[in-house]
Amino acid sequence: MPTRKRKPGFDTLAIHAGQEPEGLTGAVTVPIFQTSTFAQVAVGKNKGYEYARTGNPTRTALETCLAALEDGRWALAFSSGMAASDAIAHLLKAGDHVVMGDDVYGGTYRLFVRVFDQLGIATTAVDMRRLASVRKALRKTTRLVWIETPTNPLLKVLDIHALAGIAHAGKALAVVDNTFASPYLQNPLAHGADLALHSTTKYIGGHSDVVGGAIVGNDPQLRERLAFLQNAVGGVPGPLDAWLVLRGAKTLAVRMERHSLNGQAVAEWLAEHPKVSRVNYPGLRAHPQHDLAKRQMRSFGGMLSFELKSGEAAAKRMAARTKIFALAESLGGVESLIEVPLAMTHGSVRGTKLAPPAGLVRLSVGIETVHDLIEDLAEAIG
């Protein structure tokens, strides 16, 4: 990229950061370096790569791009969001304690309470909208505060700046799972978080065709420890997967604009519907943290949930009747998805105080023509 005074904008970085034409042939698109090893120039002397678990140029391009999009100094790519979360959990040791939101992604909760719990790491889950509860949950041994915002499936918005402050006062790291917002809508590092985590499977990949994860940060020591874990544990993306995520990232800005427009329109339409009792979308003025969302996020994205007055059976019936919205788990792709959290993504918390309302329906609003989406929902609600 030509040097200039002003930092390039988000859309430019998405397409060019880490993606200069390739040196040997001038290929405009970063090649898929489908190789497991790299020939050495002499013993102990190489061209920057030795073995592809440790590093691969396609992955380097992706990491450079993701760092630029989060405005961080570095990024590390993983084979899934959970592999990235696992690397962060591996920063801890037996006796350490974690505080996390009480409605974090189910896989995150499972990783801490079913895997790392056995290794002597305790976890407390609290409603992170209540800062006093977070302060109270902190122990002398708390080393990690895990924040996910907006939350899933209720779209609560948490104050990253305030929560990072509480974490730091207790000498704990503040990690933000930024998957729901994507780096286009929200940059946790700018609000004081130490690490931003992504399941790149979702908005960054954006086309429901790849599983991946990433961690972005500023502190070089954290980079060194996490890069060590990335290589030592080995949860790295293959070159094709890294390439797919990078290709998705190029259009993140335009996709998020449309996700947000469609999300807002669908949320406003649902809010007026007589069979709907409640809509959870941070872009609605009635959302309890709408002002915080406006401060913290660029716009409000494509994720929303709503409750049907007539409960779980009606929610399930509706979810099976849509024709454009596919009945599926996951989120963040170009295509619209519908699901019933209690019966699908959040089945494991049924019967606990963390269970979502029975009649709750979650939408991942895609980038199709919005009138078609609303018509599809109207027919399915009946």
Positions in the binding site for ligand PLP (CB under 6 A) = 80-82, 105, 107-108, 148, 152, 177, 179-180, 199, 201-202, 211, 213
CB of 99 to ligand PLP, least distance (A): 17
SS3 128: coil
For ligand PLP, give the closer residue by CB, 58 or 108.
108
SS3 349: helix
Q: 238: which residues sit within 8 A by CB, 6+ positions away? A: 79
CB of 205 to ligand PLP, least distance (A): 9
Conformation bin of residue 20: beta by default, left when phi > 0, alpha when psi is -120 to 50:
beta
CB of 201 to ligand PLP, least distance (A): 4
For ligand PLP, give the closer residue by CB, 339 or 376.
339
The helix (H) or strand (E) run that includes residue 216 is strand 213-217
For ligand PLP, give the closer residue by CB, 170 or 333.
333
For ligand PLP, give the closer residue by CB, 170 or 238.
238
CB of 299 to ligand PLP, least distance (A): 18
Rounded CA separation 117/97 (Å): 10
Q: CB–CB of 150/181 below 8 Å?
A: yes
Q: Outline where 234-289 has alpha helix (H).
A: 239-250, 252-271
The 10 Å Cβ neighbour count of residue 12 is: 13
CB of 108 to ligand PLP, least distance (A): 6
* Closest CA relative to residue 77, chosen from 191, 251, 248: 248
Scanning the structure block, which residue is given the tokens 């190489």?
46
For ligand PLP, give the closer residue by CB, 38 or 180.
180
The residues carrying an active-site annotation are: 53, 105, 177, 202
Q: Which residue pairs, CB below 8 angstroms and at least 24 apart, start in 375-379?
A: 376/322, 376/323, 376/324, 376/325, 376/336, 377/266, 377/269, 377/270, 377/322, 377/325, 379/321, 379/322, 379/323
